[in-house]
Amino acid sequence: MFRKLMTFDEARRAIGEQLKPEALSEEEISLLEAYNRVLKEDVVSALDIPPFNRSTVDGYAVKAEDTFGAEENQPAKLGVCGVVNVGEPPRITVAKGEAAEIVTGAPIPEGADAVVMVEDTDREDAQLRVYRAVTKDENVMKKGTDIKKGATVLKAGQVLGASEIGVLAALGLTKVKVFKVPVVAVLSTGGEVTEPGKELPAGKIYDINAYSLSTAVRESGGKPVYLGVIPDDKAELRRALEHALASADMVMTSGGVSVGPRDLTPQIVNSLGKPGVIVCGIAVKPGKPTTIALVGRKPIFSLPGHPTSALLLFHLLARPVIQLMSGRPVTEAKTVKALAATRMFSAKGRRTFVMVNLKRGKSDGLLAEPVETGASGAITTLAKADGFVEIPENQQFIDLGEEITVSLLKDVV
């Protein structure tokens, strides 16, 4: 089974058409914990904001018509009838010829329809002189002008930042309905790796992938569950995958299984449930052994064992799935233009991704220099690469000095 590799585009299509990633169900959480979460439904205001006519300045609430004609040499004379405090309903009414002292944010008292700024007045006891006429509604923020009752203020799918959470608070809310965060079980396989924190047996190296992929899951908006290194055994792997599927919304494995035939992981995965393996090997370099399966609605990504390849394939294929399962828009990697610092060869017939470092070249442009990802640098490449360059299947190489598009893996420029 699964003899023929899929092309990269076919693999992406299979994810879209067969895996069909979509947002999980909702949960209601505290607004204070809602940072970077995704709104489940449109938010409609249950109140007018402001809920009453407010003064936007410090001054005197008046009937506008009482000030008509007032100017520097000919002030309008009004009698101060009281004070309106901020945060309280006004206890006074402004009658013709009267003015009420008012501060910014306080409710406009009955009878008044404008506010004269304190700078434009002069007061002696209860006697007020107004040196500048105001029009109706001047310096008044009217009820509902900021948000009308019934208005949709935020849309489903919006990611909540400081502003959006501020708007929800303005509506008096302390809870908000958001999409659940997809839980992603992360495990490593392979007889050559051992878990960090344990003693390193002769002939083994420490596992990197369960840590780097757990972090990548978090970066993508998921919640990782670290399951560590699974012993190199068919039954153990099966048991681990069953446990992972039961406890998470998605499973991420990396590495191979060294006992038994090469395609042991896909075979086990296929036996766990329908529809089973949908992508088994992709014509890409690196990352050829990548397989993707679906058990019920739960995706299983089996990534390569090489740490940089695993993280790259995660980025290309798994990250968008986690974003969609979070209800988020899929964010494309940011790109920059650069010149190839050397000729970069592709792997014949495979979509090739070359990890690169960016350097400032002459004349302020950027130069992209390949990072060794093969024999040496398996680990340090991870920390060093700024991004990657894509070479299409039908192109042999990128030439020295050619302008290329670099997809960024971190913020570097």
Site for its own copies in 86-115 (CB under 8 A): 86-90, 103, 105-107
Candidates 154-162, 241-249, 281-289, 393-401: pick the segment binding its own copies (CB under 8 A): 154-162
Contacts of its own copies in 314-353 (CB under 8 A): none
User: Residue 105 or 273: which CB sits closer to its own copies?
Assistant: 105
Q: Which helix (H) or strand (E) holds 164?
A: helix 162-170
Closest separation between CB of residue 138 and its own copies, Å? Answer: 10
User: Residue 247 or 380: which CB sits closer to its own copies?
Assistant: 380
Q: Which helix (H) or strand (E) holds 163?
A: helix 162-170
DSSP state of 11: H
Closest separation between CB of residue 39 and its own copies, Å? Answer: 12
Q: Does 357 bind its own copies (CB under 8 A)?
A: no
The residue among 28, 93, 94 whose CA lies nearest residue 67 is 94
Closest separation between CB of residue 274 and its own copies, Å? Answer: 32
**Cβ-count burial of 7 within 10 angstroms (0-12 exposed, 13-18 middle, 19+ buried)?**
middle
User: Residue 161 or 401: which CB sits closer to its own copies?
Assistant: 161
User: Total binding residues for its own copies by CB under 8 A?
Assistant: 89
What x-and-dash track marks residues 110-149 binding its own copies by CB under 8 A?
Answer: -----------------------------xxx---xxx--
Q: What's the alpha-carbon Rg for the chain, to the nearest Å? A: 32
Residues 6+ apart with CB under 8 A from 213: 186, 224, 252, 254, 303, 310, 311, 314
Closest separation between CB of residue 323 and its own copies, Å? Answer: 14
Closest separation between CB of residue 86 and its own copies, Å? Answer: 4
Q: Does 286 bind its own copies (CB under 8 A)?
A: no
Handedness of CA 80, 82, 88, 94 (dihedral sign): negative
Closest separation between CB of residue 82 and its own copies, Å? Answer: 15
The residue among 321, 277, 282 whose CA lies nearest residue 295 is 277
Contacts of its own copies in 197-236 (CB under 8 A): 197-198, 200-216, 218-219, 224, 226, 232
Contacts of its own copies in 155-184 (CB under 8 A): 160-174
Residue 110, number of CB atoms within 10 A of its CB: 13
Among 47, 183, 336, 339, indicate the residue that binds its own copies (CB under 8 A): 47
Q: Does 61 bind its own copies (CB under 8 A)?
A: no
Closest separation between CB of residue 275 and its own copies, Å? Answer: 30
Closest separation between CB of residue 170 and its own copies, Å? Answer: 5
β-strands 291-295, 275-280: how paired? antiparallel
Q: Does 82 bind its own copies (CB under 8 A)?
A: no
Closest separation between CB of residue 253 and its own copies, Å? Answer: 16
Contacts of its own copies in 246-285 (CB under 8 A): 258
Calpha distance 383→376 (Å, rounded): 14
Calpha distance 342→404 (Å, rounded): 12
Calpha distance 308→300 (Å, rounded): 19
Residue 53: strand, helix, or coil: coil
Length of the chain: 413
β-strands 140-141, 298-303: how paired? unpaired
User: Residue 51 or 296: which CB sits closer to its own copies?
Assistant: 51
Q: Does 193 bind its own copies (CB under 8 A)?
A: yes
Candidates 52-60, 63-71, 75-83, 293-301: pick the segment binding its own copies (CB under 8 A): 52-60
Phi, psi (rounded to 5 degrees) for 25: -75, 180
Calpha distance 296→273 (Å, rounded): 7
